[in-house]
Copies of this chain bind each other. A is one copy, B any other.
Amino acid sequence: MEITTLKDIANELGISVATVSKALKDYPDVNKETKKKVLYMANKLNYTPNQLAVNLRTKQTKTIGVIIPTTVHHFFSNVIDGIIAEAEKKGYLVIILQSDEKLFLEKLHVNLLIDKRVDGILMSLSNKTNEFVHLKKIISRKIPLVLFDKVEPSIACSKVRIDDKKAAYQAVCHLIKKGYRRIAHFRGDLNPKISNDRFEGYKEALLDHDISYDPSLVYVCNNNKDFEDGYLNAQKLIKEHSNIDSIFAITDLVAVGIIKYFNEKGIKIPNDIAVVGFSNWFMSSVVTPTLTTIDQPAYEIGKTATEILLQEIELTHLEQPIKHKEIILPTHLILRESS
């Protein structure tokens, strides 16, 4: 005997499949005695329901799909942790796909997940994503969608993110309060919202403290190799601007690249130049000097996004209307040696 089915139990007991099914699901219209017998036999034959059949029948898969740019990333692996933890708690499985920052893969994966009939989808958009038909397709199929981290405002769905502009503002204000005035910014790629938001926060902080904004102090890191971007741009910065006293980097990894270069060149942090990062990667607490940075609640972002998604799945299933939420989780400035 291979795998036990309802039919096997039914045959064994000389009753119908329907009754067996109902007995196992504790329907009221089945005799207590037969319930006992069914339970006993199910146990004896080691029965577990074939989820494929259940899924087909109930049109629910108890599975959610996740599309993120990459898993090899401190932030995303913590987000995944939060997602899986929350999903497991509610009995959902998690399928993870990587867009590798490519739009065509993102689209492909969306189709895959739709075909797979996942109950809901969680996405952080790739940096290259500048059109959104694939997201609209998800919504038109009535599949709950929650965007996190890299979100698109124009899409009607729930979103979980941080306030990048505010966090950047906070970081730069910190530098200003510490007395730094010539503040460079190593920004991210031009397209993504978070990159622009952080840039805006940087500018606004300068403005609010009557420091004139100098575009030549802004360096773009867009090679997808943050560490090297930081290292090389630090090199460039030192050549081009000798009078810099601090840098606000879009990412800890960029900041660590900067630190590496400065350490090699004997440039003292923070005495010669202060450095502030963004994300509070584990690494920032162990580099020398330790890095001042913005703590981004990655685990909570994953957990919260999943909570909302599962709620919306339940509501959809009950055919009730859903009100989309936009959650902004708080960030914290972590003060360390580098500033």
User: Could you name 24 residue pairs across A and B whose Cβ atoms are closer than 8 Å?
Assistant: A3-B141, A48-B115, A50-B115, A51-B116, A51-B117, A52-B56, A52-B59, A52-B61, A52-B117, A53-B56, A56-B56, A71-B71, A71-B77, A72-B74, A72-B77, A72-B78, A72-B80, A77-B77, A85-B98, A93-B116, A94-B96, A94-B97, A227-B286, A283-B283
Q: Which chain B residue shows the least CB distance to A55? A: B52
| Contacting residues, chain B, for A94 (C-beta < 8 A) | 95-97
* Interface residue? A88 (CB, 8 A): yes
Task: Check B115 against A49 for contact (C-beta < 8 Å).
Answer: yes
| Contacting residues, chain B, for A50 (C-beta < 8 A) | 56, 115, 117
CB A89 to nearest CB in B, in angstroms, measures 12
| Contacting residues, chain B, for A78 (C-beta < 8 A) | 72
Residue in contact with A288 in the complex, picked from B55, B141, B263, CB distance below 8 Å: B263
Q: Which chain B residue shows the least CB distance to A256? A: B286
Quick one: CB contact mask for A59-84 with B, threshold 8 Å, 1 for yes?
10101000000111110011011001
Kindly state the separation between the CA atoms of A56 and B55 in the bound complex, as whole angstroms: 9
Q: Which residues of A contact B (CB under 8 A)?
A: 3, 48-53, 55-56, 59, 61, 63, 70-74, 77-78, 80-81, 84-85, 88, 93-98, 111-112, 114-117, 141, 227, 256-257, 259-260, 263, 282-283, 286-288
Known: A71-B81, A95-B95. 20 other contacts (CB 8 A): A48-B111, A49-B115, A51-B117, A52-B52, A52-B61, A56-B56, A71-B71, A72-B80, A77-B77, A88-B97, A88-B98, A93-B112, A94-B95, A96-B96, A227-B286, A257-B286, A263-B288, A282-B283, A287-B287, A288-B288
List 4 A-B pairs, minimum CB-CB distance, nearest first: A288-B288, A52-B56, A77-B77, A72-B77
Residue in contact with A84 in the complex, picked from B52, B97, B117, B227, CB distance below 8 Å: B97
| Contacting residues, chain B, for A115 (C-beta < 8 A) | 48-51
Q: Which chain B residue shows the least CB distance to A66? A: B96
